[in-house]
């Protein structure tokens, strides 16, 4: 990793800039795909599967026999691990449920809010270089808890772990469709694939562009997404081998991933660089990780205050704090997707099995967006009930405000009741 020593605040923006690709170019490639699926439905999906995935599909729906056989193709150890992760994710997300609380705001006026599961949601799971069955759990579990009536899963992969995780989450509508065309199918609906109201899931820049374009047409999405990233803040209390392992665990996602190390210790940074070389040499995905490290840097800063300022400006998807008093210092972090405290909390725990959700804002969007949670799968509907006594208490307030805004009919809607 490139080492940058004691940068001035004016240099932060350049240091923290993510690698970007011109989305306008990508959108121009994606728009014809969306239009084709919208116009031709299933026919377009068969043609695009052959064109992009080099697969001749006989049917779009996942073969039921493959779904049924999935459990038998997995080791008992992996099935036990998936069940353990499912239970932790379920426990953390079900605790996010909130019972409606009725509030009497003034005499005779009662207001409350209820949560209702979004009726139809779509989950996209990419094929790519790794079978992301963990993402099936991360999206399927909160959808299950929220009570979404219809969950549609699109993936170009028939990996048994993906199908097994989908079964655990109660997802039965699984379609073997990938890429931007899968997003289009869920956004517009086809003869086989139901239209949904909100689309979740990661993907490459073409999938991301498709989601953003669908969003412009009124289909909700989980969040804007970009390549995976991690920032590690480490001091002399950190273990260089742990830090290097955390950086590589994110770098191996792909060549466009980015990792950032911030430290007040030059000795630690040098030790981490040595560990990176050692650990990189034995990784099966070393080529991906090495490319990602070329886009990454270690920054040496004078003190904790500067480190905090820099990390808040970066707004990392994942922030690992391998520093003394990590929990106390985390109170000063207000821009991050998810925070991992101490030397024994690797980012991969959140990716798989600690219970928190791994679908998180990237590319600096953590300044304004939260990661996926139970709330992502529900709508909040406010309800109010006013008694005869209540409208008498509140009526004049409404009339005065409505008249001041020159909205006479609003005022009259109260006057007729007071009369």
Query: Which residues are marked as active site?
Result: 317-318
Buried b (16+ CB within 10 A) or exposed e, 223-245: bbbbbbbbbbbbbeebbbebbbb
For tokens 């989450």, what's the residue?
Answer: 169
Are 192 and 61 spatial neighbours (Cβ–Cβ below 8 Å)? Answer: yes
Which segments of 315-371 does DSSP mark as H helices, in order?
326-330, 347-352
Please compute, for residue 407, the number of CA atoms within 13 A of its CA located in the half-sphere on the CB side: 10
Question: Distance (Å, rounded) from C-alpha 63 to C-alpha 56?
Answer: 14
28 is in an annotated binding site: no
- Annotated binding-site residue? 87: no
- CA 249, distance to chain mean position in Å, is 18
- For tokens 């009726």, name the residue: 119
Annotated binding residue at 279? no
User: Ramachandran region of residue 104, left (φ > 0), alpha (ψ -120 to 50) or beta?
Assistant: beta
Does the annotation flag 181 for ligand binding?
yes
Provide the H-helix boundaries in 347-387: 347-352
Listed residue (241, 227, 269) closest to 346, CA to CA? 241
Instruction: Say how many residues make up the chain.
Output: 419
Closest CA relative to residue 259, chosen from 249, 269, 267:
249
253 is in an annotated binding site: yes
* Whether the Cβ atoms of residue 110 and residue 103 lie closer than 8 Å to each other: yes
From the CB of residue 261, how many other CB atoms can be counted at a distance below 10 Å?
A: 28
Q: Please, which residues have CB within 8 angstroms of residue 218's CB and are 6 or more apart in sequence? A: none
Q: Does the annotation flag 393 for ligand binding?
A: no
Rounded distance between C-alpha atoms, residue 79 and residue 357, angstroms: 20
Q: In what order do the strands lie in the sheet with 220-221?
A: 173-175, 150-154, 120-124, 198-200, 220-221
First to last CA, the chain: 76
Q: Tell me if 93 is assigned to a ligand binding site.
A: no
Known binding residues: 124, 181, 204, 228, 250, 253, 318, 351, 405, 410
Known binding residues for Zn(2+): 250, 253, 351, 410
Known binding residues for substrate: 228, 250, 253, 318, 351, 405, 410
Known binding residues for NAD(+): 124, 181, 204
């Amino acid at each position: 990793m490139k080492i940058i020593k004691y940068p001035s605040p004016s240099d932060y923006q350049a240091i923290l800039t993510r690698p970007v690709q011109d989305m306008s170019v990508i959108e121009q490639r994606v728009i014809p795909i969306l239009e084709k699926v919208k116009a031709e439905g299933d026919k377009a999906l068969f043609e695009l599967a052959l064109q992009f995935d080099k697969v001749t599909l006989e049917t779009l729906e996942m073969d039921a026999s493959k779904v049924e056989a999935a459990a038998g193709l997995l080791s008992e150890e992996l099935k036990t691990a998936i069940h353990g992760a499912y239970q932790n994710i379920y426990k953390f997300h079900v605790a996010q449920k909130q019972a409606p609380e009725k509030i009497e705001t003034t005499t005779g006026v009662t207001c409350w809010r209820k949560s209702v599961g979004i009726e139809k949601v779509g989950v996209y799971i990419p094929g790519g270089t790794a079978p992301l069955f963990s993402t099936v759990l991360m999206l399927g579990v909160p959808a299950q808890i929220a009570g979404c009536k219809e969950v549609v899963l699109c993936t170009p992969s028939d990996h048994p772990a993906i199908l097994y995780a989908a079964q655990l989450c109660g997802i039965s509508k699984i379609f073997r469709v990938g890429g931007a065309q899968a997003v289009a199918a869920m956004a517009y609906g086809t003869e086989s694939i139901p239209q949904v109201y909100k689309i979740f899931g990661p993907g490459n820049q073409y999938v991301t562009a498709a989601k953003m374009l669908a969003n412009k047409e009124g289909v909700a999405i989980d969040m804007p997404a970009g390549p995976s990233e991690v920032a590690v803040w480490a001091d002399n209390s950190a273990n260089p081998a742990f830090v290097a392992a955390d950086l590589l665990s994110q770098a191996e996602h792909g060549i466009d991933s980015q990792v950032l190390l911030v430290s007040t210790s030059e000795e630690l940074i040098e030790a981490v660089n040595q560990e990176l070389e050692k650990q990189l040499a034995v990784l099966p995905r070393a080529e991906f990780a090495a490319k990602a490290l070329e886009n990454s840097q270690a920054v040496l800063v004078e003190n904790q205050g500067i480190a905090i300022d820099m990390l808040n400006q970066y707004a990392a998807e994942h922030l690992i704090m391998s520093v003394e008093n990590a929990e106390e210092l985390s109170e000063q972090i207000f821009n991050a997707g998810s925070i991992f405290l101490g030397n024994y909390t690797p980012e991969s725990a959140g990716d798989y099995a600690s219970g928190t959700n791994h679908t998180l804002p990237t590319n600096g969007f953590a300044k304004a967006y939260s990661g996926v949670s139970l709330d992502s799968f529900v709508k909040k509907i406010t309800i109010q009930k006013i008694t005869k006594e209540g409208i008498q208490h509140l009526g004049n307030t409404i009339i005065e405000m409505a008249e001041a805004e020159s909205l006479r009919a609003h005022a009259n809607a109260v006057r007729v009741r007071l009369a």
